[in-house]
Amino acid sequence: MRNKDHLCVMYTSENDLLRFYSNLPAMAKQRIKLYPKWNALSLLNQDYEILKDRMAIQGESETKGPIIEQNVMYKLHQTYSDKQVTPWGVSRVQAPTAWSRNQGDGVRVGIIDTGIDARHPDLRDNVKGGINTVDTSSPFVDRNGHGTHVAGIVAALNNQIGVVGVSPKAALYALKAFDADGTASLTDIAQAIDWAIDNNIRILNLSFGSRDTSKILHQAIKAALKKGILMIASAGNSSETLDYPARHPEVLAVGAINKNGRVPSFSNFGKTLNYVEPGVDILSTWPESPNYNTLSGTSMATPHLTGICALLLSQAPELTPSQIKRILDRSAQKLPRISSRKQGRGIVKVNRVLSLANRLSNRTSPS
């Protein structure tokens, strides 16, 4: 009875409502929905034309008759569902300035996380596959939301709805190693890295961490780097030194900044922190209604850099992880009045990265 082809009728009392309803033919009653608490009912427009003469209340003035209304349709109060917005972090890293030339087309990005909602209208065209290492017999459905949020920051579609990611045409691969409660075992993560090695993933986003180190995980990371996979990890949200795997030297460690260019108190720090990216009040995709959510954390900062690197690899696919790191190091901009322990080399932005890569490419090209 939510269809706009229905009319709503409200009487002044329940007795008047029931007097009308009880005298209707059985067939008419089947198509009518009663709302006795409101002294109301709804019926099809065509039934109203047939029954409207019966609706008058006997012995009452015309002003006391029923109120007839259209079945008004309402929308949720969300500003991002029917018109695309560019989240502030995507703007801060200057991603939109590159899209006329490069949107990360086809660069294979693995998201080791809680899965990705592959049916999301802002992601479905970019989700190309993946694996569930928690349960290999099940798909990589995201029952937590974190992985879908991270994926949207990297590569939400530039499709005029919802949000847009840093690299809107990157190829996303959901490597579900985390369960619905947001936890993962060492073996599930290592298996996800092995899958990335076997399936030619170019970038791995690692928006997770632990205070404990692991030789097995470190070995898996080394193996991935040897195969040319760039790994980018979140620093952690505990106001202390970096978590693992961000602390491993083979991984790029990312902390967070807010809209004012300050490092939030939660963002982990240390001499091995590489960069900072937007990570506070970040709007991105979500697997449940209303399909978008705002989260904060170094988990949100990390996919901004992942998206930047997808744009870089789309422009220069021959680059190795070590070459990418040198370009990022030279491109990063220091933020004022913040120590290196809290911001690393600073914030990385798309324009500087792609321009530097282009200059270096021109220098090494044969004349």
Q: Residues 342-357: what's their mean pLDDT?
A: 97
Question: What fold is seen in the domain 88-361?
Answer: Rossmann fold (3.40.50)
Q: Which of 16, 113, 142, 243 is catalytic?
A: 113
Amino acid 16: pLDDT:
84
Phi/psi for 170 (5° steps) reads -65, 155
Please name the residues in contact with 334: beta carbons below 8 A apart, sequence gap of 6 or more.
343, 345, 346
Mean pLDDT check: name the lowest of 62-66, 258-262, 274-278: 62-66
Please name the residues in contact with 349: beta carbons below 8 A apart, sequence gap of 6 or more.
92, 93, 94, 308, 331, 333
Question: For helices 298-315 and 350-364, what crossing angle results, to 10°?
Answer: 30
Please name the residues in contact with 274: beta carbons below 8 A apart, sequence gap of 6 or more.
252, 253, 254, 325, 328, 329, 344, 345
Q: How confident is the model at residue 12 (pLDDT cuts 50, 70, 90)?
A: confident
For 49, counting Cβ atoms within 10 Å of its Cβ (0-12 exposed, 13-18 middle, 19+ buried), the class is exposed
Amino acid 59: pLDDT:
42
Amino acid 234: pLDDT:
97
| Nearest C-alpha neighbor of 118 from the set 196, 175, 177 | 175
pLDDT at 28 over 80: no
pLDDT tens digit sequence for 66-86: 888 776 554 333 333 457 999
Which tokens belong to 199?
A: 């399936």
Amino acid 92: pLDDT:
98
Amino acid 49: pLDDT:
77
pLDDT at 183 over 70: yes
Helices (H), 227-349: 298-315, 321-331, 340-343
Q: Which of 42, 120, 142, 146 is catalytic?
A: 146
For the chain, report the end-to-end CA distance as a whole number of angstroms. 72
DSSP category for residue 238:
S
Percentage of the chain beyond pLDDT 70 is 91
Q: For residue 295, give the H/E element and its range.
A: strand 292-295
Q: Which of 299, 304, 314, 331 is catalytic?
A: 299
**HSE of 337 in the Cβ direction (CA atoms, 13 Å)?**
3
The pTM assigned to this predicted structure is 0.79
Q: Is 188 a catalytic residue?
A: no
* Domain boundary assignment for the chain: 6-70, 88-361
Q: Is 113 a catalytic residue?
A: yes
